[in-house]
Amino acid sequence: MGNKDIPEKARLSVLSLLQKLVLNEDFITLLQHDKKNALQSVLQEFYSSSQDIKINIAKMLTNGLATSKGGLFLTSKLTSSGCPSFMTLVTDICTTCVLAEEQSLCASGIAIAANLSRYKLSDDTVLELASALLQCLARKLPEESVYYCLTGLDRFTTKSQEICELAAVMGLDWAELSSTSTRTQNLCSQIQLKLS
């Protein structure tokens, strides 16, 4: 993946395969023992990649965080050979995606954040991710994105009183968010109870 001479179509195919492989616990075990840190290299390429590559990296992270073993691996704070930790890389990519104007990239970031909200994270990471979700909720979003933003926010408000206070002062239009569907209405009600 790190070789820019490889055509983008081939890189997209590799990422598509990785999206499936990260769901497999044996593959996660293989990544845990990878001395070359190939996955970290892929994540570090995120910012210099095309939009399609970025979206596929984000989808791979979403899938990896969907399993317990993958989630524990991708939220690891351990660093090796001068590379940033997976937690740092994943948080940075997630925040960038959530705040992106491009809808597909934003939706992928929201999915990463919703999955990350299931894990034990540092207070700083919770604050960074919840802040991005709150900013995102101030925009016009499709129902599915609103639902996953609220799902992540609901979990983050459970983890930190600071997030409750931040959500309270953000001045979100809870009526508008509730109107998108029954499931978003239920989540808005749950979150608002924590804010009062």
pLDDT at 4: 67
Place of tokens 């210099």: 48
Q: Which of 125, 120, 103, 6 is nearest to 58 (CA)?
A: 103
- Domains of the chain, by residue range, sit at 1-120, 133-196
Q: What pLDDT does residue 49 have? A: 93
Segments of the chain with pLDDT less than 50: none
CA distance 108 to 57: 9
Element (H, E) at 142: none
At residue 2, the pLDDT reads 56
Q: What is the pTM of this model?
A: 0.92
> What is the predicted pLDDT for the residue at 146?
96
The predicted pLDDT at position 3 comes to: 61
pLDDT, tens digit, 9 for 90 and up, residues 110-127: 999 999 999 999 999 999
Q: What is the pLDDT of residue 116?
A: 97
Alpha helices per DSSP H over the chain: 8-21, 25-32, 38-44, 51-65, 68-74, 86-98, 103-116, 123-137, 143-159, 161-170, 174-178, 182-195
d(CA 65, CA 116): 7
State the DSSP H helix or E strand holding residue 22, giving kind and residue range, or none if neither: none
